[in-house]
Amino acid sequence: MEAQVGDELVVDSTHGEEPRKGEILEVRVEDGREHYTIRWDDTGHEALFFPGPTSHVLHTHRDASLKAVRGT
């Protein structure tokens, strides 16, 4: 997945519920696999998360960096 701090993690539901989202606070790599410390948007709870087939990363930190550079 190649996430960075500040990106948004999205976990899609397999039961028709809304996706769960959280902010990536830390990226860890062990044995070549990424996992993350995240803060869930819905509860504010921080947790260690190991990505699976229903999760993906939105690279939102890059959007914020571009806006800061452009002054918008």
Residue boundaries of the structural domains of the chain = 8-70
pLDDT at site 1: 58
- Residue-wise pLDDT tens for the chain (72 aa)? 589 999 999 999 888 899 999 999 999 999 989 999 999 999 999 999 999 999 999 998 655 544 444 454
pLDDT at site 68: 47
pLDDT at site 30: 92
Give CA separation, 66 vs 25, 32, 43, in Å: 20, 29, 29
Contacts of 42 (CB under 8 A, 6+ apart): 20, 21
Fold classification of 8-70 (topology level): OB fold (Dihydrolipoamide Acetyltransferase, E2P) (2.40.50)
| Predicted structure pTM score | 0.79
pLDDT at site 18: 93
CB-based contact 35:49 (threshold 8 Å) = yes
pLDDT at site 14: 87
